[in-house]
């Protein structure tokens, strides 16, 4: 009987603990500061869904070479500007860099014809021309995150004559043999990308999210359990809900871009093989001669190290560096420790190459 009472008491205590934390957490929600992408900026150019931002300098003197952040096609740009003190953009601006960012936006039905070539050899150079007009400098440093790193790298490869002063790739996939789940979709005949694009036009953000969640099915549940364990910690809750909001804010992929990425990148692995063509030009990464910094996370489940580790060897630059840190795809660039572990290393690497 006593053992049954012990079990009952334990259950009551657990329920009481969870309920108290849940109520405490709910009480805090109204006061949470969840504004995202708040570092002061101007839209200096737009084209369809695409926006080019220029962040307000905060230093009296800035480095000569501007930075252009090239974001992924499948996530919102504000992962690099989550909140004051948790913003890669804010950090770079505070170090004296002139920072621009390309937000690819949300493609609508009328944008389904955007192909991957469009992003690499039309939209990106168009934005870079606007950056040069705005700041008066032709040299530029590109920082690409995830698929943004692919776009930045391919552009640099097909235009070695352009003034790309520095190239930084963060969590950038190159070898799809190192992405077994993605590769299994690409190799599976029942996953008909042509039918999906024909019927839907663009790939819905919800479909992209489902694919990403399949990589770690219990990650959201684990995150919410962790939230309950920290329900009384305002700072933890704010950070948690910012990440939750960003994760849920999925971006559709333009239909033709999705088709091209699926066939030529995921299925045929053409970038890794040096066979990728963009607008009729061979985009061999060996053509890249700009100073290059490769950054990867050891526990990245979205872009495993097996998919990114050969990037530094494929790039033709003489000046090449690599940073590999513990962490995941998102925590690498925006986690609580990024301000101590990664951001200073990126700034230091760029400082001496931005004069």
CB-based contact 106:49 (threshold 8 Å): yes
Residue 86: φ, ψ to 5°: -130, 45
Instruction: Supply the pLDDT for residue 195.
Output: 87
pLDDT band at residue 74 using 50, 70 and 90 as cut-offs? confident
Q: What is the pLDDT of residues 41-73, one digit of tens each?
A: 999 999 999 999 999 999 999 999 999 999 999
Compute the average pLDDT of residues 199-221: 66
The mean pLDDT value for 232-261 works out to: 76
Give per-residue pLDDT as tens, 338-354.
889 999 999 999 999 99
What secondary structure letter does DSSP report for 119? I
User: Is position 146 annotated as part of the catalytic site?
Assistant: yes
Write down the catalytic residue from 115, 127, 135, 146. 146
pTM of the shown model? 0.84
Count, residues in the chain: 355
Sequence-separated (6 or more) residues with CB below 8 Å from residue 125: 155, 159, 162
Tokens for 41, please give them: 């900026």
Q: How confident is the model at residue 292 (pLDDT cuts 50, 70, 90)?
A: very high
Contact 25, 227 (CB under 8 A): yes
């Amino acid at each position: 009987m006593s053992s049954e009472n012990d079990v009952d008491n334990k259950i009551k205590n657990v329920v009481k603990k969870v309920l108290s934390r849940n109520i405490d957490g709910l009480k805090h929600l109204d006061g949470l500061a969840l504004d995202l992408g708040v570092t002061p900026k101007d839209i200096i150019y737009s084209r369809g869904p695409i926006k080019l931002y220029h962040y307000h300098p905060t230093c009296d003197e800035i480095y000569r070479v501007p930075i252009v952040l090239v974001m992924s096609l499948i996530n919102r740009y504000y992962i690099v500007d989550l909140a004051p003190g948790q913003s890669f953009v804010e950090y770079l601006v505070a170090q004296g860099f002139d920072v621009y960012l390309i937000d690819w936006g949300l493609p609508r039905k009328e944008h389904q014809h955007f192909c991957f070539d469009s992003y690499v050899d039309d939209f990106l150079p168009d934005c870079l021309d606007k950056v040069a007009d705005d700041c008066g400098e032709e040299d530029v440093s590109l920082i690409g995150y995830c698929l943004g790193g692919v776009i930045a790298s391919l552009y640099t490869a097909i235009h070695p004559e352009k003034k790309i002063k520095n190239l930084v790739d963060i969590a950038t996939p190159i070898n799809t043999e190192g992405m077994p789940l993605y590769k299994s979709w690409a190799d599976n005949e029942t996953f008909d990308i042509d039918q999906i694009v024909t019927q839907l036009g663009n790939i819905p953000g919800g479909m992209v999210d489902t694919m990403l969640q399949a990589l770690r099915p219990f990650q959201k549940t684990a995150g919410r359990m962790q939230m309950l364990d920290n329900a009384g910690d305002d700072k933890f809750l704010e950070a948690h809900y910012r990440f939750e909001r960003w994760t849920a804010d999925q971006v559709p992929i333009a239909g033709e871009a999705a088709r091209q990425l699926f066939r030529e990148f995921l299925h045929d692995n053409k970038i890794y093989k040096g066979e990728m063509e963009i607008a009729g030009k061979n985009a061999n990464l060996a053509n890249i001669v700009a100073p290059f910094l490769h950054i990867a996370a050891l526990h990245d489940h979205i872009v495993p190290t097996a998919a990114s580790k050969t990037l530094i060897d494929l790039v033709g630059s003489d000046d090449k560096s690599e940073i590999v840190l513990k962490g995941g795809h998102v925590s690498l660039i925006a986690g609580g420790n990024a301000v101590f572990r990664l951001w200073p290393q990126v700034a230091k690497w760029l400082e001496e190459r931005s004069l």
